[in-house]
Amino acid sequence: MSIALRRSFLILLAVLVPLFASAATTSPHDVIQRATDQLLADLKTNKEKYRKDPDALYESLNRILGPAIDADGISRSIMTVKYSRQATPEQMNRFQENFKRSLIQFYGNALLEYNDQVIRVLPPSGRQQEADRASVGMEVVGTHGEIYPVSYTMVNLQDQWRVRNIIINGINLGKLFRDQFAESMQRNGGNLDKTIDGWGGVVAQAQDSVEAQKATGQ
C-alpha cells in the first residue's frame, strides 16, 4: 500500500472511533475531532502491544468500528437494489459481517504505520447541515507538506452519526466497492453466495485498484 494511501486510511480509523456514542445534537465535526484525539492517544499507548499481538488490534477495532459503521446502508449501496432485493436476510447479514471483517483487516495494518503525521479536521463549509446527513472533511499532511484530502459522508440514524461513505484523495470507495461487487457477480455467473463468501478477495482487488490509480495520478 502506498504511503499516501496509508495516511489517508488512518483518518478513516480516527473518525470512526466514538461515533456510535454520539448524539444527534452533537456536531459531526466535533465528534470527529474527539475521535481523532482518542484514537491517536490509544495508539500512542498501545502501538507496540498491537505490533506484537495483531489479534488484539483487530479485536479492539471490531469492538470500536462495528457500531460506528452504517453496515446495512453501505452493504445495500454496494450490492445495489438489483442484488440486495435478491438477497435473503441471512445473505445480507453474512455480507455485512464479511465486509466489516475485510475492512478491519484492511485498515488495521495501516494503523500500525502511523508515525505522527498531522491530521486535522476541516471547519464546516458554511452550508447548512442537514438533520440526517453531513459531509465532513479532513486532511493528512505528509512529512514534506503534501496534503491528502478525505471526505466522509455521515448519516444520522436513531440519533447516532454513522459513516456511510468515504472519498480518499478523490477516490470514492463506495463506488469502487460497488463496481467490484458487480464485476464479481458477473465473474461468478450471478451466484450471490459465491460473491459474498469471496468478498475478502474482492476488497484486496479494490486495494490494488486504488494503488494503481494513485500510481498513475488518476
Predicted confidence band at 189 (pLDDT cuts at 50, 70, 90)? very high
**Element housing 90 (H / E):** helix 89-111
Give me 133's grid cell.
446527513
Residue 67 per-residue DSSP state: G
Q: Are 147 and 124 in contact (CB under 8 A)?
A: no
Whether residue 21 is contained in a domain is answered as no
Whether residue 13 is contained in a domain is answered as no
Unique residue bearing C-alpha cell 436476510: 89
- How far apart are the C-alpha atoms of 11 and 39, rounded to whole Å? 10
Give me 159's grid cell.
440519533
Give the other-Cβ count within 10 Å of 3's Cβ: 15
Unique residue bearing C-alpha cell 453501505: 74
- How far apart are the C-alpha atoms of 211 and 1, rounded to whole Å? 7
Q: Are 66 and 96 in contact (CB under 8 A)?
A: no
Over residues 201-210, mean pLDDT: 67
Q: Are 161 and 24 in contact (CB under 8 A)?
A: yes
Per-residue pLDDT at 200? 80
Mean of the per-residue pLDDT values of the chain: 76
Residue 3 neighbours by CB under 8 Å, 6+ apart = 142
Task: Name the residue among 133, 140, 181 with its Cα closest to residue 161.
Answer: 133
Q: Domain total for the chain?
A: 1
Whether residue 174 is contained in a domain is answered as yes
- Quote the pTM value: 0.74
Over residues 60-88, mean pLDDT: 83
Q: Report in angstroms the alpha-carbon separations of 184 from 28, 95, 151, 209.
A: 34, 13, 27, 14
Whether residue 19 is contained in a domain is answered as no
Over residues 2-29, mean pLDDT: 51
Whether residue 62 is contained in a domain is answered as yes
Q: Which residue has the higher pLDDT, 39 or 195?
A: 195
Over residues 13-26, mean pLDDT: 46
| Domain with 200 in it | 28-216
Whether residue 1 is contained in a domain is answered as no
Buried b (16+ CB within 10 A) or exposed e, 171-209: bebbebbbebbbebbeeeeeebeebbeebeebbeebbee
> For position 60, which CATH number holds?
3.10.450.710
| Total residues belonging to the chain | 218
Whether residue 67 is contained in a domain is answered as yes
Whether residue 175 is contained in a domain is answered as yes
